[in-house]
Structure 1
Amino acid sequence: MTKEQIEYGSHTIEFELKYSDRKTLGVKILPDTSVYVTAPTDLPLCKIKENLAKKASWIIKQKTYFLNFDTTEVSYQIKSGYAVHYLGRQYKVMVQLAAENEVNYNGNLFLITVKNKEKAQAVFDQWLKEKAMTRITEIAKPIIRKFGESFFMPKEIFFQDMPKRWGSCTIKDKLIFNPKLIHTPKRCIEYVVMHELCHMIHKHHNDNFFKLLTQMMPDWEKRKAKLDGYL
């Protein structure tokens, strides 16, 4: 596999090129916006680039769609009187000095007790990340089971801080989720999980992908609209 690129107006489209015994040119846009091209072994590079130039508008449109699936920057400060979102609800923050570093929540309040108030942000961030991995996994399990009734199920899911992505499905069907999803409502998390599961069947956003997504989650558009407008 080699890396190539073409120019289209003000855009530079980079792509991974692989040759195979197929008879036609195949183009895939993955959720991370990377472009993969599979070409017949006897097709010259100049012809490959010529064909891609004809598809350039579509490629850019698909990449833009994925970029629109980006996260809104989630930022918060852990100080008494401030607020933070958790599973779609807003919680007030209270920081107190204590002998142990702990995070507890009750009603609409997050109580963070720390030995040093300067460490409150780090203590809460670590707690929230661990909580996110546990809670998002719990939310994902029934969605994955539903998907597995018709298709195969991933054995596990992974978490990674991604400044511009809520989730990702790699070319090897590894599902990765952003812990920051924990700030959003449960319905939004369920949508992101199903979205990435559908990418295990259809890697790029074509009619087949959206038909499958609609089949598996008929109200996905409402969920996506809520996610897009959140935070």
Structure 2
Amino acid sequence: METQSIIYGDERIGFTVRFLPRPQRCVAIHVMPDGAVCVDAPEHSELTQVIAAVRQRARWIWSQLEAQRKRHLHVLPREYVSGETHLYLGRRHILKVHLDEQVPSRVRMWRGRLDVTTRSREPVAVRRLLEDWYRIRAQEVFAQVLASFAKHTAESKSAPPWRLLAMRTQWGSCSPKGELLLNPYLVKAPRACIEYVVAHELCHLIEHNHSPRFYQHLSAMLPDWQARKDELDGMAEWLLNR
């Protein structure tokens, strides 16, 4: 990976360049939920050409980064106390923390609330319980979505191997060996957004790049994928604010 930067106005924009083997045919620029800028380029590209391509898209990159900064101003850090709202499948649920040293700790969804029973009100303890609960829900929801889409990508009609991995900059990824990695915090998003990420990664089993053919497959699987992606991008700060 190459680390580079360009100047746009009064701002220096840093980015990483990843040179990928064929069939990567063109330079693809990605602005990640945490503000990282990643560039994919064909493996035999000249670095000067890649930087020139980034400069051509500098205004778009800056506008994406500026929108993320504005969204971040409205996101408060989590305290894991009663009264907070936490997302699950796109809906907000009020957190209610119950202190009880006589029963096992647990999390349950009840009448629009996330009820956490715990032996300690320490935020780290409540957070750990919620994270475990989110991972369990993510296993269930992602398995359902993968099963519903698998018929589009595999002769066996079964879901490819996959696992959960908490990531700071990605919702999902597909390894060269065909294993999917999905971010458990994605389960906070609406199901339509989850379907977009799963479909995106499944299409990488066919085209391990972001070429026009990749987007043809994605459009065939999810004609409205762009609207779903835009919705997910718009709430990334809230979803990743743990």
**TM-score, normalization: structure 1?**
0.72
Q: What corresponds to 2:178 in structure 1? A: 173
Q: What corresponds to 2:140 in structure 1? A: 134
Distance 1:17 1:207 in 2: 16
Deviation of 1:168 after TM superposition, in Å, equals 1.1
Deviation of 1:166 after TM superposition, in Å, equals 0.8
User: Would the alpha carbon gap of residues 102 and 12 (structure 1) be closer, same or farther in structure 2, given more than 3 Å must change?
Assistant: closer
- Contact 1:88/1:185, CA 8 A, preserved across alignment: yes
RMSD over equivalenced CA pairs, Å: 3.8
Deviation of 1:142 after TM superposition, in Å, equals 0.6
Distance 1:137 1:38 in 2: 34
Q: What corresponds to 2:81 in structure 1? A: 79
User: Would the alpha carbon gap of residues 224 and 38 (structure 1) be closer, same or farther in structure 2, given more than 3 Å must change?
Assistant: closer
Q: 2:217 aligns with which of 212, 215, 219?
A: 212
Q: 2:98 aligns with which of 85, 96, 99?
A: 96
- Contact 1:83/1:91, CA 8 A, preserved across alignment: yes
Question: Per the alignment, in what secondary structure is the counterpart of residue 217 of structure 2?
Answer: helix
Letter in 2 for 1:135: V
User: Would the alpha carbon gap of residues 57 and 202 (structure 1) be closer, same or farther in structure 2, given more than 3 Å must change?
Assistant: farther
Deviation of 1:201 after TM superposition, in Å, equals 2.0
User: Would the alpha carbon gap of residues 220 and 117 (structure 1) be closer, same or farther in structure 2, given more than 3 Å must change?
Assistant: same
Q: What corresponds to 1:196 in structure 2? A: 201
User: Would the alpha carbon gap of residues 36 and 152 (structure 1) be closer, same or farther in structure 2, given more than 3 Å must change?
Assistant: farther
Distance 1:125 1:4 in 2: 34
Distance 1:120 1:88 in 2: 21
Matched-pair identity in %: 26
Matched, 1:157 2:168: no
Distance 1:171 1:59 in 2: 26
Q: What corresponds to 2:48 in structure 1? A: 53
Q: What corresponds to 2:114 in structure 1? A: 110
Structure whose alpha-carbon radius of gyration is higher: 1
Choose 25-34 or 76-85, whichever is displaced more: 25-34
**TM-score, normalization: structure 2?**
0.69
- Contact 2:26/2:42, CA 8 A, preserved across alignment: yes
Q: How many residues align?
A: 210
Distance 1:174 1:185 in 2: 24
User: Would the alpha carbon gap of residues 136 and 55 (structure 1) be closer, same or farther in structure 2, given more than 3 Å must change?
Assistant: same
Distance 2:173 2:27 in 1: 15
Letter in 2 for 1:226: E
